[in-house]
C-alpha cells in the first residue's frame, strides 16, 4: 500500500531508526524491535549515511528484515549527492527484490572534502528519477523552520512544491520542538497549494549531548520551555530522560488533538523510550481511526 494511503482514515504513527555499525548491534536492534511488536507502527524508516561512504547495504538489510520478518512496512532513505543514476537504479532493483518499495528521497548533506557525483543536485532530481524508473512510493523531507541553506521561507516552500510536483506523495519534517512551527508550516503549504500528508518529526530529548549536536548542525531554534528542561536536568540523565519523554508525549497529545497528519518518532534506536511514548499515546492514535470513532459512537448511543 502506498504510504500516502495510510493517512486517509487515521493519524499515522511511524518510527525512524538508523543501521547499527556492527552485526551484533543489528541483531540487538532487531531483537528490540521484535520485542516491541505490540506497537505495530504504520511504517519504519531506515536512514542511510550520505557522508560515511556507501552504507546502502546496511539500510537495505534492515529494511528487508523489518518488511519481511517483522511484517512492518519499511521505508529506505536514499541520499543522492554521492550516487550516480546507475547506482541508484541498481539499488532500486535490489530494494524491489526484497519487497521494499517505499523510499525517502533525500539530497543528503554535502561533505567539504568530497565532490558530489553530479547526477543529482537536489532531492527533487532524485524524486523525479525514481518516479520515472519504476513503481515506488516516494516521500520527501521538509523543514518547518526552513532548511538552513535556504535564503528564505518562500524559496524553500517553492522548492518543496517542486519536490511534491515531481512525485513526493508524503513529507516528513525535521524534528520539531514547538508545535506552532508545524501549524505555521502547514498553513504556508496550504497557501502554496501543497496538499500531501505531512508527518511531524518528534525527537524525545533524552540525551543532552546528542540534542546539542543535532540542533547545532540543523540550526533549529529551540523554544524557551525546552531550553529550561535542558538547563534544569543537564546533570541528571535519569531526570533528563523522564522530562524529555514527558515533553515529547505532551507535544504528541497536542498535535493529535489538533488534527496532525502523522507523528514520525526519531527513536535514535532507543526502543525503551519508544515503548514508553507509545504506552502513553496509543489510545489517542486509535481514537483517530474512523472505524474506532464510529464504533464508540454506536456504543454511546446504545447506552442512552
Ligand atoms: P533538498 O530538498 O534538495 O533541499 C536542500 C536545499 O536546496 C534546500 O535549502 C532547498 O530549499 C534547496 N533547493 C531545493 N531545490 C532547489 C532548486 N531547484 N534550486 C535551488 N535550491 C533548491 N540525511 C542523510 O544523509 N541520510 C538520511 O537518512 C537522512 N534522513 C533524513 C530524514 C528526514 C525526515 C529529514 C528531514 C532529513 C534527513 N536527512 C538525512 C538530512 C538531509 O539529507 C539534509 O537536511 C540535507 O541538507 C537536505 O536534504 P533534502 O532532501 O531536504 O534536500
pLDDT score, position 205:
87
> Is residue 156 lining ligand 1, measured as CB closer than 6 Å?
yes
Please enumerate in sequence order all residues whose Cβ is within 8 A of that of 105, keeping only pairs 6 or more positions apart, or say none: 78, 80, 123, 126, 127, 130, 138, 139, 140, 168
pLDDT band at 298 (very low <50, low <70, confident <90, very high): very low
What cell numbers appear for 116 in the block?
Answer: 558530489
CB atoms within 10 A of CB 242: 14
> Is residue 14 lining ligand 1, measured as CB closer than 6 Å?
no
pLDDT score, position 52:
58
Distance 152 CA to ligand 1 centre (A): 15
Q: pTM of the predicted model, to two decimals?
A: 0.94
CB atoms within 10 A of CB 50: 23
| 16 belongs to the catalytic site | yes
Question: Complex ipTM, two decimals?
Answer: 0.99
pLDDT score, position 301:
46
> Is residue 79 lining ligand 1, measured as CB closer than 6 Å?
yes
Amino acid at each position: 500500500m502506498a504510504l500516502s494511503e495510510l493517512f486517509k482514515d487515521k493519524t499515522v504513527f511511524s518510527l525512524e531508526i538508523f543501521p547499527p555499525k556492527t552485526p551484533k548491534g543489528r541483531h540487538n536492534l532487531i531483537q528490540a524491535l521484535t520485542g516491541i511488536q505490540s506497537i505495530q507502527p504504520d511504517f519504519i524508516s531506515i536512514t542511510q549515511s550520505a557522508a560515511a561512504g556507501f552504507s546502502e547495504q546496511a539500510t537495505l538489510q534492515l529494511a528487508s528484515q523489518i518488511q519481511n520478518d517483522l511484517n512492518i512496512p519499511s521505508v529506505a532513505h536514499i541520499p543522492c549527492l554521492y550516487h550516480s543514476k546507475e547506482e541508484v537504479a541498481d539499488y532500486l532493483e535490489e530494494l524491489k527484490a526484497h519487497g521494499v518499495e517505499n523510499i525517502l528521497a533525500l539530497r543528503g548533506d554535502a561533505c567539504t572534502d568530497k565532490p558530489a557525483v553530479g547526477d543529482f543536485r537536489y532531492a527533487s532530481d532524485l524524486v523525479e528519477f525514481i518516479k520515472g524508473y519504476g513503481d515506488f512510493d516516494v516521500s520527501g523531507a521538509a523543514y518547518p523552520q526552513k532548511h538552513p541553506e535556504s535564503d528564505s521561507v518562500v524559496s524553500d516552500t517553492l522548492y518543496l512544491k517542486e519536490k511534491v510536483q515531481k512525485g513526493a506523495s508524503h513529507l516528513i519534517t525535521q524534528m520539531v520542538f514547538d508545535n506552532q512551527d508545524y501549524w505555521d508550516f502547514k498553513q504556508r503549504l496550504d497557501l502554496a497549494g501543497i496538499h500531501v500528508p505531512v508527518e511531524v518529526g518528534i525527537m524525545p530529548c533524552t540525551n543532552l549531548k546528542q540534542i546539542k549536536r543535532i540542533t547545532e548542525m540543523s540550526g533549529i531554534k529551540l523554544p524557551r520551555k525546552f531550553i529550561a528542561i535542558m538547563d534544569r536536568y543537564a546533570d541528571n540523565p535519569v531526570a533528563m530522560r523522564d522530562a524529555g519523554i514527558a515533553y515529547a508525549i505532551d507535544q504528541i497529545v497536542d498535535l493529535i488533538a489538533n488534527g496532525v497528519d502523522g507523528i514520525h518518532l526519531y527513536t535514535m534506536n532507543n526502543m525503551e523510550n519508544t515503548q514508553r511514548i507509545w504506552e502513553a499515546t496509543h489510545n489517542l492514535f486509535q481514537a483517530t481511526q474512523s472505524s474506532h470513532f464510529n464504533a464508540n459512537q454506536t456504543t454511546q448511543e446504545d447506552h442512552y
